Chains A and B, each alone.
Chain A
């Protein structure tokens, strides 16, 4: 039986369709989850996609964090549910305190949509175990508030515990602390990143197919040992 991976649609989610397509391309069954659902419908993992949930009113991700489905997700994370937050999904995970730090306005104060190189720093997470340590991949960055920020102690702890998921390779596009593009929980199950692996699953419609292993990794992590 193939794994069932939920993709949450909040009002204002935009990359939910792309995330479902990436899940399917990886060989899993995508399951559409509605923000108002008080059930995860038995999914094995969850993707929080990019977009502007609730119009990004107040602060990116600040309202989505209180959606009924998030309550379910926060509960299930405690029992090991793998969750991947992409862009707005990463912002939501930080607002929900499932990941440390926060995402702030790009240093150039403009939206940036660009093909970029990132380096995978941690390959022990549920979402990156299909990569090789230090592997550089080409994905899409597209965000206005993508600058990762955390205090010095948190940054040092993330570094020490191997919780930095990926870093911008080459120049830092948005002013993120420590060139951090994504982080992962200490359990290795909850990951968030600003760039979009789901837009890089097919060279026809993306800059590469380098993002697909995010979605195949979790299948490997879910498979019985």
Chain B
């Protein structure tokens, strides 16, 4: 008589496919996942507690360390919440600099997402190609901010500095080249038969489930839900640009990947328009902000669209120079809340494909 039983398999925390330190305790029936228990917290630094002992400005570099692949977008979300609390007006030029540097950050993050995803699936060349353009993006961001990853470029009321001479032209030139590079990735990865066989109809996420579980970013739009804060609730100057929100159809791993790929084409359009428009604007890059930042008593919540999804900052002020409470709504963290049900019924080999398609960032998950 043959007796079968379920067994456990430990995945991570030190495993390259988790893109950080993340553990999943899998219960398997043969090769099928019966239950998955995601365990996080290995990178927990207590950023929210640290914020309570720093001034408002001192907290900006900590936000870099959440999603360090798209640091500008993290800075931006935080300063927006503080600006909302204080009622500070941001100069037009600063808004454009935020858009350009923010979209460059999004590009860097998406390039890593698609590069490492192809690596997860087993295609090493895709990874190398994506890193080639990422290097250029990093160089551009370094020239602007002095730092490659932890940018800390946004300031409460504006940005740290104006673009150096000739920088905008360099970005413009790079953006001219970018669509052909994306064609190259499309040819190598998206159109690849093995890649499609591994990702299509795997990890299907239904639109109503995605909304119910507060999943955001390309993972939500891959299921066909049209919800991009840049379009739905335009912040900054996003209402002045003409761009589309790419949507998926089936909500499988391939659609989520493809959304990121198409989003890169759209952000190239946004940056090109922003460069056109910023040339006609003259003025300061930082608004009138007091030296010591003491917002009035109260609270504010602001959210923006990052490369991973919706990042929100809830800031409470008690009138002192230090925030009373800062909470970060991290998209990667909340996107993982549905991972257990998402993995059930798929094969062990699909676990990596599904986890990779959510594009999580452990610095952000564990906060």
Physical interaction between A and B: no
Chain B contacts to A: CB under 8 angstroms: none
- A residues touching B (Cβ–Cβ < 8 Å)? none
